Structure 1
Amino acid sequence: MSWPHIRRQRLHGLLRRRRAWLIGLALLLALVVLDAVFPPPVPGRDAPHALLIVARDGTPLRAFPDRDHVWRHPVALSDVSPLYLAALEGYEDRWFRWHPGVNPLALARAGWQWLRHGEIVSGGSTLTMQVARILEPIPRTLPGKLRQIVRAVQLEAHYSKDEILGIYVNYAPMGGVLEGVEAASRAYLGKPARRLSHADAALLAVLPQAPSRLRPDRQPARARQARDKVLQRMAGVWSAADIGDALQEPVVAQTVRDPLLAPLLAERLRKEAAGRQRIDTTLDAQAQQTVELLLANRLAGLPPRVSMAVLVVDNETLEVRAYAGSADFSDADRFAHVDMVRASRSPGSTLKPFLYGLAIDEGLIHSESLLGDVPQSFGGYQPGNFQQSFHGPVSVSEALTKSLNVPAVEVLDRLDPNRFVAALRRGGLKLDFPKGESPNLAVILGGAGTTLEQLVGAYTAFARQGVSGKPRYTPEAPRVEQRMLSAGAAFIIRDILESGGPVGRAVEAGSGIRRGIAWKTGTSFGFRDAWSIGVSDRLTVGVWIGRPDGTPNPGFFGANIAAPLLVDIFSALDQQAPAQRTPPLSVRQEKICWPLGTRYDPAEEGLCQRQALAWLLNDTAPPTFADRLRSGEARYSYEVDARSGLRTTAECTDRPRRKIDAVRWPAALEPWLGGDLARKALPPAWDPACRRQSDPEAGLRISGVTSGEVIKRVRPDQDPVLRLEVRGQRGPVYWLINGRLAGHRPAHLPFIHRLSESGRVDITVMDEQGRFDRVSFSVR
């Protein structure tokens, strides 16, 4: 063969290869263009319209279906049982991991069966082809099959095998409105897909072949027959023993129902979904069920239109474990769709722990500082207590545990309402005031609004060394924390709320001491809101009960309606034994003395008229507040007759005298110093020779009854009636009977009182300058 001929052949070969390469390149470009022009369907086509809210363990809380009312529970392959994945591939597509989207042998077999029988006997579909049909419904015709093949090849080019399998796992039809293995497993079997047994896996693997005909809740016999076929096909993959056990299991499916836990939280999170298919929350499904059951058990004892709300927060993580925004989501008469976790309501007395804690941080008080629970006027504002009685001298611990109003207003008056509200805001608790209103003394008794959510977040500070936090509803929510109190003040207030403070702990009388729960109740004006907030080492729990429309509930207050529910929630959710807490280095216990309020000094034993063990912060023992009614120093001295011990002065006697160093109690408290304390605290009576000297109690007298008098009933069925008058005052006076406020009226009006009970009666009258008179008599 000549050389020119060889060259021509080589040239022709080169041209043919180049032509083939160009044709291949053109075909490839054409495929790329076609793929770009006709892309495969995108998974998650209904994502903006389908949403699942789940608990922290994946338990569905609430499902919001898509526009076709389909329930779909998104799940990752790693959260699906390997048994199900093995059954799926082993039964549906053994060569799934190897083929390019199409199995030629399976297609050839299906084509031969079609030619032989004149109809489609088996489709020869791979899992990838089934995913193509799921994403883009295609008619079961020859053109449809060809299009399905093309789509399958496209999917293989765009996605990995695991991604394709993940689409199938989430979108495979499972009967009725269910799609995906997780939705089917939860709905039919009541368990997550990661916990499927061999029998469960086989059942759910075969279900998409005929979802309506094989539904286990409606067709258990057919479902079992199909399941057993899958189990037998798994021989060689699963052990004979496992297959044998699975074949013995009956097919039992529960009725398909919408999941409905924490519905109002789900509604809230739905508005923040932003196109997501699934929102994982921090809720504990079991805790949520327990709380909702406890609320349901109380419904029968509540009047119409009364609702309840509960929020449970983990102290360490600030994650919410239970959220009940209303008492019963199905009861429209109880305003079921009004979320009272977020509603602004009057907090009643629930702000008092923060007031006393901030006052401790400011160095104004310690845990046993002397306060006065007596009728007082603060620039015209005259608070009273819930029970309309007064207790006289009380400590901070007693005032807080008994939720006394007058001492709280006194402390707030010293701290300043604006500073208090600003400090709460810095700590994450924002108060709502009516338009045009500013903070005033009423704020500590509920004269502003806040939410259960904010209160619970603020109360976590007592378990977190003074740092409060915003409740978190999703794992990705940021931690928002603020310093509410110092660690020392938080420790002191928690100890008071838990045990009554050092005195209460010493006698083991604290309400929460044995369970490690510090709690506070509150009731708003007019019985509109009943609150109870509690803190343990692990949880902070808040309870609100009332009418969402704000109408009163007479007789409903925090202690009798909200606190019992709080205790039940802690009993059910927190069985953890309380840890032994060590006071921070800034806190120590020391003896203090009343009325000065300072440390006990053995050298001044005579000035210490009552001792108490107190928590001190930063080694500071602030003195008792300055007297509001009487000027001058608390320390003073007077003279007594050296022989008689009666009070005297050089102006009224020339007999030997003795100087006495003494301390004054606040003038408003002197009427309340009974018995030995009064004899110890008040100076002795004046010597008869000095009757013209000013007596602190002079100028105010009760007329109508005398001390020591015995009043007898004329008839057993008729109560005596007293008509009392006061002398020495023209302004308003307070009338108290056995320590309980019985009237506040101008002095010129008589005070009428019916003596309905036998025994001793103490009647006190006091004006706003602290002057008083008291009579004690008996009724028989």
Structure 2
Amino acid sequence: MRRRLGLAGLAVLTGAAVAADRALPPDLSRLRAGIEVLDREGRTLSTLPAPGGIWRLPTAAADVPPHLLAMLLAAEDRRFHWHPGFDPLALGRAAFQWVRAGRVVSGGSTLTMQAARLLEPRPRTLRSKALEILRAVQLEARFSKPEILGIWLTLAPQGGNLEGLRAGSLAWFGRPPGQLDAAESALLVALARRPEALRPDRHPDAARAARDGVLRVRAAGAGGVSGAEVALALAAPVPAARQPMPRLAPHLARQVAQGAAPGSRIATTLDRDLQRALEGVAEAALHEFPDRAAFALVVAETSSREIRALVGGSFGVEARAGMLDLTRAVRSPGSAQKPFLYAMAFEAGLARPETLVADLPFRFGSYAPENFSRDFTGRVTAADALRQSLNLPAVALLSELGALRYAAALKAAGSPPRLAPGAAPSLPLALGGAGTTLRELVALYALLGDAGRAGALTALPVAPVERPEVVTPRAAAAVAGILVQPFPGGGPAGVGWKTGTSWGGRDAWALGLDARHVAGVWIGRPDGTPIPGLNGRASALPVLAQVFARLPAAPRQPLQVRAAPRPFAEAADRLRLLFPMPGAELVEGAGPVTLRATGGRRPLVFLVDGAPLPHQRARREAAWTPPGPGFYRVTVLDADGIAAAAELRVR
């Protein structure tokens, strides 16, 4: 009977305990931690604080070295792995010392009780101690011993607004806790006891004494450490100042952290060493420019499109402009998009690198472009026209290619032209007459080094994807080869580069690629106001040369074509419709449109739904006014009877 009553009573007590635990669970809200952004090798790039500006980063038992855990258990809780959350022997000893001395000599708190107090801070009273014991029992029932250690390691105060040993390790020693030696580990363990009184930057003697006390406890047998190792640790200095928390690539860190869960560690594709080096390049170069000038810089691996370094804006700027990621700002590219235009022209058979083109005054209707130098070169090869960034040949090629087709190809390549509301693509597109971003331009140059295949840049590891071919490998490689030339002020060989300057000196660009990497530099003011004398060649190109000088060595052979291309002569001879493209759509009432063809043997005949159009048969274009909405088939025939056709729709 007594046994049954005892079992029943135990069941009632157990049920009551379970009910109380569910009704009053421990408050884990203080575990809400900041975010850590990592580079491609798992190294810390940047940290973002927890709410309230507290530097609190999740720290697990596996994140700290074994000797730190050994010191922690030796100094705070030798029977941690055996007790149920509280240690009766430690509490009895603390009570006896209190009665005998008339004051608190030792607290008797276990690490689990300390974790409970860190989760729910209370005044140091007997009532609080009793609540800590109850909470400790709850924690032991809910979490494993390593998880309880993780709570303590995440919340242990480290002085000022630092909480947790990961934050303490980064702030006091500039590296994660897994790399701490014995002396450094002992200091962090000691700091948790009295974080303000033992701050090494304010109270170095007290900090050293407390650290040495933890080391001597370990020397007494905890952790199996040799006396020589302890002696070496005792001789080590304590840090004289707190180091800034890691803040590389701050613009990208904020971007990837958006929507991430508190306490996340986010892996990126960046390279920490390269990022640090290029931030130094940009910061040093910034001193050569007027106030409010800013730099943006992107480096990516061509084949994977993974970003290796990104500088989003100015340094040390507290105003709103300093928070803007200028690699995503829409700006005028000037001549920086011309290589893609030439690649399309080469593919369409409108020109070859050796084709002679005219750089002479010419009007395209009401549009009369000029060169940046305000003079004209005469007849030059298409390759030289691109290298010299001559404007008239580029506009002439776009006139032949068609602005609509060029705009559609830019969109397919991931760099859609941003036009003014209501504006249609037109010839100024050849000279930067529509907005784009630095990230999109870098991706456009990566296309030239990747057999004409389009793909957006990424800062997060993603699975490889099949990329669409926007221009032929031959055309892409030909343009990339044309761009390979020495840097004017010296720099690494084997780099293809192109510059651009927007109207009025508002934006200076330099883009480049070698056999492994693609990079871009933008200089300007975030508000778009001009900078006197700013231009891509003089301002941005020297910075680009420094960027490539700091990249890992790449094979310096010419950029390779990855697929068997057709010869340029064959491409030039093949009859093709430039406009309309298959599936094109027109708006009724927009007036006449120009049908264009390339290749084939003249004279050409244009037909719409089988009916020939009147035109000069020696020309490769014909005007046509749609009679109304509907679907139409446009066909072009050359002198050999070869045909090319496309269907379009008029809405």
Tell me the residue number matched to 1:174: 158
Task: Indicate if the aligned counterparts of 2:45 and 2:249 stay in contact, CA closer than 8 A.
Answer: no
1:59 to 44, 52, 56: 44
CA contact (8 A) 2:304 2:464 kept: no
Residues 281-332 of structure 1: per-residue CA shift (max 9 Å, x gap): 4333332332222222223321233222112223344332322222334264
Equivalent of 1:402 in 388, 402, 406: 388
* Residue of structure 1 equivalent to 2:514: 536
Report the alpha carbon displacement of residue 62 of structure 1 after superposing the two structures with TM.
4.3
Change (3 A) 1:234 1:617: farther
Corresponding position: 1:186 with 2:170: yes
The higher radius of gyration belongs to 1
Q: Check if 1:348 corresponds to 2:326.
A: no
Amino acid of the structure 2 residue aligned with 1:412: L
1:435 Cα deviation after fit: 0.3
Distance 1:155 1:520, change over 3 A: same
Deviation string for 1:128-158 (max 9, x for gaps)? 1111111011332222111111111111111
The alpha-carbon distance between structure 1 residues 634 and 537, as it changes in their structure 2 partners (threshold 3 A), is: closer
Find out whether 1:284 has 2:262 as its counterpart. Answer: no
Q: 2:116 corresponds to which residue?
A: 132
8 Å CA contact retained: 2:270, 2:308: yes
Higher relative contact order (CA 8 A, sep 6+): 2
- Shift of residue 580, structure 1, vs aligned partner: 6.1
Q: Label 1:224 to 1:37 Cα distance change in 2 as closer, same or farther (>3 A).
A: same
* Pair 1:110-2:91 in alignment: no
Hey, what does 2:437 align to over in structure 1?
451
CA contact (8 A) 1:360 1:617 kept: yes
Map of 1:428 onto structure 2: 414
1:272 paired to 2:250: no
Alignment of 1:600-679 (within 5 A): 616-617=567-568, 620-622=571-573
Q: Partner of 1:362 in structure 2?
A: 348
Say which of 493, 499, 511 aligns to 1:521.
499
Residue 592 (structure 2) aligns with: none
SS of structure 2 residue aligned to 1:336: helix
Encode CA deviations 1:622-677: one digit per residue, 9 max, x unaligned: 5999xxxxxxx999xxxxxxxxxxxxxxxxxxxxxxxxxxxxxx9xxxxxxxxxxx
Is residue 2:284 matched to residue 1:301? no
In structure 2, how many angstroms separate the alpha carbons of the residues matched to 1:149 and 1:316? 58
SS at match of 1:234: helix
Change (3 A) 1:267 1:525: same
Is the 1:385–1:405 Cα contact (8 Å) retained in structure 2? yes
CA contact (8 A) 2:516 2:555 kept: no
Matching residue's letter, 1:420:
Y
2:19 equivalent among 27, 33, 37: 33
CA distance in 1 between partners of 2:296 and 2:305 (Å): 18
TM-superposed deviation, 1:229? 1.6
Structure 1 contact 65–72 (Cα < 8 Å) conserved: yes
**Residues 1:512 and 1:309: Cα distance change in structure 2 (over 3 Å):** same
Q: 1:146/1:36 Cα in 2 relative to 1: closer, same or farther (>3 Å)?
A: same
Q: CA deviation at 1:432?
A: 0.5
Instruction: Give the distance between the partners of 1:331 and 1:30, measured in 2 at CA.
Output: 56
Q: Where do 1:93-242 residues align within 5 Å?
A: 93-235=77-219, 236=221, 237-242=224-229
Mark the runs of 5 or more structure 1 residues left unpaired by the alignment.
1-14, 500-507, 589-615, 626-632, 636-665, 667-780
State the alpha-carbon separation in 1 of the partners of residues 92 and 119 from structure 2: 24
CA contact (8 A) 1:428 1:482 kept: no
Q: Secondary structure at the match of 2:484?
A: helix
Paired with 1:217 and 1:282, the residues of 2 have a C-alpha distance of 35
Match of 2:612 in 1: none
- Which position in structure 1 is the counterpart of 2:590? none
Percent of aligned pairs sharing the same letter: 43
- Secondary structure of the residue aligned to 1:318 is coil
Q: Does 1:571 align with 2:557?
A: no
Deviation at 1:180, TM superposition (A): 1.0
- Does 2:530 match 1:552? yes
Match of 2:640 in 1: none
2:381 aligned partner, one-letter code = S
Secondary structure of residue in 2 paired with 1:164: helix
**1:524 CA drift (Å):** 1.1
Look up the SS of the partner of 2:84 in the other structure.
coil
Deviations 1:659-697 (A, max 9, x none): xxxxxxx9xxxxxxxxxxxxxxxxxxxxxxxxxxxxxxx
> What's the CA shift for 1:577?
4.5
Residues 497 and 511, structure 2, Cα contact 8 Å, conserved in 1? yes
Q: Tell whether the 8 Å contact from 1:515 to 1:577 is kept in structure 2 after alignment.
A: no
How far is 1:403 from its partner?
A: 1.1
Residues 1:209 and 1:316: Cα distance change in structure 2 (over 3 Å): farther
Contact 1:369 1:624 in 2 (8 A): no
AA matched with 1:243: V
The answer to whether the 8 Å contact 1:73/1:278 transfers is no
Separation in 2, partners of 1:274, 1:218: 35
Q: Matches of 2:118 and 2:466 in 1, distance apart?
A: 43
Contact 1:470–1:481 (CA under 8 A) maintained in structure 2: no
Is residue 414 from structure 1 mapped to residue 400 from structure 2 by the alignment? Answer: yes
TM-score in terms of structure 1 length: 0.69
Cα separation, partners in 2 of 1:437 and 1:147, compared to 1, 3 Å: same
Cα separation, partners in 2 of 1:624 and 1:472, compared to 1, 3 Å = closer
2: CA distance between counterparts of 1:64 and 1:464? Answer: 39
Preserved CA contact (<8 Å) 1:109 1:124: yes
1:328 paired residue number: 315
Say which SS state the counterpart of residue 525 (structure 1) adopts.
Answer: coil
Deviation at 1:587, TM superposition (A): 4.2
Change (3 A) 1:536 1:427: same
Letter paired with 2:281:
L
Q: Distance in 1 between matches of 2:465 and 2:150?
A: 32
**Aligned residue identity for 1:325:** G
Taking structure 2 as the reference length, the TM-score comes to 0.82
Alpha-carbon spacing, 1:117–1:510, altered in 2? closer, same or farther (3 Å): closer
| Alpha-carbon distance in 2 for matches of 1:344, 1:437 | 17
Per the TM alignment, residue 161 of structure 1 is displaced from its structure 2 partner at its CA by: 1.2
Aligned AA for 2:347?
A: D
The answer to whether the Cα contact below 8 Å between 2:55 and 2:167 also exists between their aligned partners in 1 is: yes
**Displacement of 1:58:** 3.4
CA distance in 2, matches of 1:371, 1:42: 72
Alignment CA distance shift 1:419-1:63 (3 Å): same
Asked if the contact 1:53/1:278 (under 8 Å) is kept, the reply is: yes
Q: Which deviates further from its counterpart, 536-545 or 148-157?
A: 536-545
Secondary structure of 2:335 counterpart: coil
> For residues 557 and 117 of structure 2, what CA distance do their matches in structure 1 show?
59
Give the unaligned 5+ runs of structure 2.
577-599, 603-618, 620-651
Amino acid in structure 2 at the alignment position of 1:252: P
From the superposition, tell whether residues 618 and 510 of structure 1 become closer, same or farther in structure 2 (CA, over 3 Å). farther
Which has the higher mean CA deviation after the structures are superposed, 286-295 or 191-200?
Answer: 286-295
Q: Is the 8 A contact 2:348 2:572 kept in 1?
A: no
Give the Cα–Cα distance (whole angstroms) in 1 for the partners of residues 252 and 381 of structure 2: 42
Shift of 1:175: 0.8
The Cα shift of 1:31 comes to 0.9
The alignment yields a C-alpha RMSD, in angstroms, of: 3.0
